Amino acid sequence: MAKREKKSLNFIEQIIEGDLKKGKYKEITTRFPPEPNGYLHIGHAKSIVLNFGLALKYGGKTNLRFDDTNPVVEDVEYVDSIKEDVKWLGFQWADKEYYASDYFDKIYEFAIVLIKKGLAFVDDSTIDEIKSMRGTPTKPGQHSPFRDRSVEENLDLFERMKNGEFEDGSKVLRAKIDMSSPNMHLRDPIMYRIKRAHHHRTGDKWCIYPMYDFAHGQSDSIENITHSICTLEFETHRPLYDWFIEKLEIFPSRQIEFARLNLNYTIMSKRKLLKLVQEGIVNGWDDPRMPTISGLRRRGYTPESIRNFCDRIGIAKRENVVDVSLLEYSVREHLNKIAERRMVVMRPIKMVITNYPEGKIEQLDIINNPEDENSLSRKIPFSREIYIESTDFMIDPPKDFFRLGPGRSIRLKNAYKVTCDDYKLDSEGNVEEIYCTYHSNSKSGQPDTSGIKVRSTIHWVNVEAAVPVEIRLYDRLFKDEFPDSHKDKDFMDFLNEDSLHILNGYGEVNLKNDKKEDKYQFLRMGYFSMDDDSSPEKLVFNRTVTLKDGWKKLQGKK
Ligand code: ATP
Ligand code: MG
């Protein structure tokens, strides 16, 4: 057993277990460090589940730290949404929220330490000049003409940078490392820039801001983060972070890189998601088509289904792409267990049961969730006039159409078998009403002596007790599997203009009293979640996912 457990450890767990065994740490501290420049998306969920999950598994804590070193794009709206989303996913961060901006004073002191050690200098070169002198990975860069300024001069200039004596962009502070290093990040990287921008927390206190690379590792160190887990693109930054830590002689957090989550048909850059919001392609960050946590929540995803998805895809060291149908599979699997069933007709057409007495109402029993052994049942009224899906009827059905047509019979779910005798067209030639006879000796749950053969069962809603519902059906936002991977085309070129369909249908009476945010399986139609746009006059439902299992099918093909 112990052996089997060992085998299933991912590589990060192996590292942590090794560190704990060696006695390097008694307990671990991880962190989730979002930049508050947008809402969290499903990729962040993977990082959240990983970081919080490790601290839960090995004992320890996880800090929520806002990496807010770039004042221009950050905002409190994002801070609030991030907190809400992490909590909703089911995680609790340690004691308080941390902010990289709380360390601006300390990071400024760190810069002074490096200047005093002769390891940092103020450079008057422009950004373009600095770029042009960087060299290439195979060609060494050139030393800046300001590289050999004295410690005194550097200290003086850096202080005056802080005091606002220089124009934005006129000077930077750089680390003095190695202009011929094969690792470009070590070629005298910029540590500080001058930027007169209002910060969402520090206001106008600062006109110089540390670069991400001179803030992130130090923030980890200040918080005594034992394992700083980040995505692969930071692997080449690690030597720089380690250099800063070594020269500053501060707590050495261990950085471990893993492959970020990529999903096909999905965009995950916050900048691009912001564009969809700003250009009105979607209705806000929480639009149910968005891959944001708030969008998935509104669409009807459960925290469990997202956590299960993250566990299922695992942790890899190499870039890969996960099929979006696996995400859909996860929510379908969870909702199948917890969602009560309801009957809702999305494209209604009226059926009149001509031999059923007028005014008679039968209250039929129907189970709420056949997948749940403790499930109760509810009553649904049956009477002479009902709605069925217009797609369940054809005037001239082909052989392989097993549902209703003239002269054909069908079972109405939990009710009776009916046979279609006739139908009526409206002035435009569309079917307006269907006329059927029912077979009283075919009632569900009782011995069927009707002798009528049917090939399928359809759902229905009683006309008199029907509740008007607006149904929002969603499709993928992008038509291309990898919308942002085309060299000469923009991801916006691949937008699916048909990603939202709104239908007006009818639901069974039992939907009326249900509280908001409830999740259902609408029989034969998929899983649905009530939207906040619902009013007493009209309930609004988002389709979370269809019933059809695209993922299993895909697996079967392999
Ligand atoms: P984006 O490109 O969406 O803006 P980001 O990496 O700039 O992403 P951050 O706010 O810096 O966004 O991310 C916070 C944390 O979430 C980081 O530790 C980052 O590594 C992690 N993260 C971001 N995107 C993904 C992803 N697709 N898969 C796994 N982890 C991710
Ligand atoms: Mg980032």
- Over residues 148-189, the pLDDT tens digits come to 999 999 999 999 999 999 999 999 999 999 999 999 999 999
CATH second-level architecture of 344-459? Beta Barrel (2.40)
Ligand 1 atom index nearest CA of 48: 16
- For CATH 1.10.1160.10, the residue range(s) in the chain are 270-341+469-557
Q: Is 270 one of the annotated active-site residues of the chain?
A: yes
Over residues 235-283, the pLDDT tens digits come to 999 999 999 999 999 999 999 999 999 999 999 999 999 999 999 999 9
95 confidence band (pLDDT: 50, 70, 90): confident
553 confidence band (pLDDT: 50, 70, 90): low
Of 414, 420, 421, whose CA–CA distance to 362 is shortest?
A: 414
Identified catalytic residue from 270, 299, 411, 417: 270
**Does 513 score more than 70 pLDDT?**
no
Tell me what the mean pLDDT of segment 541-555 comes to. Answer: 77
Global pTM reads 0.93
For the domain made up of 12-258, the CATH class stated in words is: alpha beta
Residue 515: the pLDDT is 64
- For CATH 2.40.240.10, the residue range(s) in the chain are 344-459
Percentage, residues of the chain above pLDDT 70: 96
Tell me what the mean pLDDT of segment 366-379 comes to. Answer: 92
Q: Is the beta carbon of 35 within 6 A of some atom in ligand 1?
A: yes
Over residues 54-74, the pLDDT tens digits come to 999 999 999 999 999 988 887
**Does 552 score more than 90 pLDDT?**
no
Percentage, residues of the chain above pLDDT 90: 91
210 Cα: distance to centroid of ligand 1 (angstroms):
20
Shortest-distance Cα residue to atom 10 of ligand 1? 34
Q: Is 35 one of the annotated active-site residues of the chain?
A: yes
Q: Is 109 one of the annotated active-site residues of the chain?
A: no
4 confidence band (pLDDT: 50, 70, 90): very low
414 Cα: distance to centroid of ligand 2 (angstroms):
54
Residue 409: the pLDDT is 97
Over residues 462-494, the pLDDT tens digits come to 999 999 999 999 999 999 999 999 999 999 999
Tell me the residue length of the chain.
Answer: 558
**Does 348 score more than 60 pLDDT?**
yes
Q: Are 512 and 378 in contact (CB under 8 A)?
A: no
Domain 270-341+469-557 coded CATH 1.10.540.10 = no
Ligand 1 atom index nearest CA of 230: 20
429 Cα: distance to centroid of ligand 2 (angstroms):
58
**Does 1 score more than 90 pLDDT?**
no
Which residue among 54, 216, 231, 241 is best mutated to probe the pocket of ligand 1, counting the most ligand atoms within 8 A of its Cβ?
Answer: 231
Q: Is the beta carbon of 237 within 6 A of some atom in ligand 1?
A: no
536 Cα: distance to centroid of ligand 2 (angstroms):
43
- For CATH 3.40.50.620, the residue range(s) in the chain are 12-258
Shortest-distance Cα residue to atom 13 of ligand 1? 34
Q: Is the beta carbon of 33 within 6 A of some atom in ligand 1?
A: yes
Over residues 430-447, the pLDDT tens digits come to 999 999 999 999 999 999
Residue 519: the pLDDT is 94
Tell me what the mean pLDDT of segment 323-351 comes to. Answer: 96
34 Cα: distance to centroid of ligand 2 (angstroms):
7
DSSP-assigned letters across all residues of 186-238: GSS-EEEEE----BTTTBTS-SEEE-GGGTHHHHHHHTT-SEEEEEGGGGGGH
Instruction: Report DSSP state, residue 253.
Output: P
Q: Are 531 and 542 in contact (CB under 8 A)?
A: yes
Rounded Cα–Cα distance for residues 205 and 197 (Å): 10
Rounded Cα–Cα distance for residues 498 and 496 (Å): 5
Shortest-distance Cα residue to atom 25 of ligand 1? 43
